[in-house]
Amino acid sequence: MTPPPSNMDSSKALARGAWTAVLVFLAAGLSGCGDSQRQGAAPPPPAVTVAKPVQRPIVDQDEYVGRFVAVDSVEVRARVSGYLDRVHFNDGQIVKQGDLLFTIDKRPFQNTLDQARANLVLARSNLTYTESDLARGQQLVRDKTITEQTFEQRAQAKRNAEASVAANEAAVRQAELDLEFTELRAPVAGRIGDRRVTPGNLVTGGTGGNTTLLATIVSIDPIRLEFTFDEAAYLRYERLSSDGKEVTGRDGSVVVALRLIDEKDFAHRGYMDFVDNVIDRSSGTIRGRAVFSNPSGVFTPGMFARVRVPGSPVYQALLIPDAAIASEQARKYVLVVDAENIARQKYVTLGQVVDGLRVIKDGLTADDRVVVNGLMHARSGAKVNPQEQVAPQAAAPPTKTE
């Protein structure tokens, strides 16, 4: 049986419990004091990178989608009818102007030419006789040997013979042309399509609407790009041109740039050579045209491309990286750091991208220190720790991963 605790043991237990409560209270008080001190300390201002906008002469560029068209496009059709004898090209090859393409059977046309030449010889022989007969009649009419009527009959016979010679000479020339037309040659240089008729078929020629299409040829170098722009752009171009600031004109002096659908840069250079004289009533657009050299033949009629046309005269622009621009609903803004290192919000109007930098049309000055890095850590009206950068740099393109 366990003996009951004595009074001394109870007093010791009560003393230990009291000291424990005092220690817990003191620990809680010290902990609360430390938390209040930590909460009262202000965090340091965030570090951001700032830079002044880049100043550069810029020309605004308008982009349009256009389609290539050939400078020369010819449908090869025969001028005479006959049976196709030979084809002298491979489908799709490059041909030069004057190259022989088709040959029509020449034998009927050669016979016609020989007959016309024989008739011409006969007519000239008859003319020689009538000239001699008229010369003899002049002396006889003076001697009153023949009547005036007989002399006039001889003069008429000479005139008829001269007309017969002229008609037969024309027949010979036409027969020579028809014989020449049996050889169809390339009227322009370019790429020829596939043959539409094989040898042995009857070819219908002439100038009627039912002639036989043999092939088509389109020129390759140079080549044109046709595109349309709206009425507002046309008015802007015309008014700038009337002020002596030629932007998009008809004299071929305006340089434009082009890229294909699989290219990233506008690396091809050409020039404007035509703007139409009417605005299309249904679409409200007007047609423009640019010319590009095409030595490699990559540009093909019917192919689509994007073209950049100068949309303004040269002006001094401010440029910053796209990473420095933030959005507030439909508006764009940047943060600039003032002399007291406080970030301030400025709304800006954006322009085009040039060499990875965004043109700012309105809202900035050349002396503004723009936050180009650390925009997410700064807020308008708060102090920041700016780190100066010599000039803003464009963001590097993302690397491709395998």
pLDDT tens-digit series, residues 360-385:
888 888 888 888 888 888 888 888 88
The domains of the chain are located at 48-58+315-388, 61-71+222-310, 106-181
pLDDT of residue 131: 85
Q: Which pLDDT band, with edges at 50, 70 and 90, does 243 fall under?
A: low
Would the pLDDT of 214 be above 90?
yes
pLDDT tens-digit map of 322-344: 888 888 888 899 899 888 888 88
Q: How many Å from the N-terminal Cα to the C-terminal Cα in the chain?
A: 84
Would the pLDDT of 64 be above 90?
yes
The whole-angstrom separation of Cα 208 and Cα 292 is 36
Query: What number is the average pLDDT over the span 130-141?
Result: 80
pLDDT of residue 101: 95
> CB of 114 within 8 A of CB of 94?
no
Query: What number is the average pLDDT over the span 46-69?
Result: 89
The fraction of the chain above a pLDDT of 90, given in percent, is 40
pLDDT of residue 14: 47
> CB of 49 within 8 A of CB of 387?
yes
What is the CATH topology of the domain spanning 48-58+315-388?
2.40.420
- Residue 65, classed as helix, strand or coil, is strand
| Residue in 386, 390, 321 with CA at minimum distance from that of residue 360 | 321
Query: What number is the average pLDDT over the span 126-135?
Result: 86
Q: Which pLDDT band, with edges at 50, 70 and 90, does 272 fall under?
A: confident
Q: Is it true that 61-71+222-310 and 106-181 share their CATH fold?
A: no
Query: What number is the average pLDDT over the span 203-209?
Result: 86
The whole-angstrom separation of Cα 334 and Cα 347 is 6
Pick from 21-30, 51-60, 222-231, 259-268: least confident: 21-30
Q: Which pLDDT band, with edges at 50, 70 and 90, does 245 fall under?
A: low
| Residue in 194, 195, 289, 198 with CA at minimum distance from that of residue 250 | 289
335: buried, middle or exposed (CB in 10 Å: 19+, 13-18, 0-12)?
A: buried
Beta strands in 262-342 (DSSP E): 268-275, 285-292, 304-310, 315-321, 326-328, 331-337
Q: Which pLDDT band, with edges at 50, 70 and 90, does 189 fall under?
A: very high
pLDDT of residue 78: 94
Average pLDDT, the chain: 83
> CB of 196 within 8 A of CB of 207?
no
pTM, entire model? 0.68
Pick from 19-28, 206-215, 268-277: least confident: 19-28
- CATH ID of 61-71+222-310, from 3.30.70.1060, 3.40.50.300, 3.90.1150.10, 2.40.30.170: 2.40.30.170
pLDDT of residue 93: 93
What CATH number belongs to 106-181? 1.10.287.470
| Residue in 284, 352, 272, 283 with CA at minimum distance from that of residue 320 | 352
Considering only the C-alpha atoms of the chain, give the largest distance between any 2 of them, rounded to a whole number of Å. Answer: 197
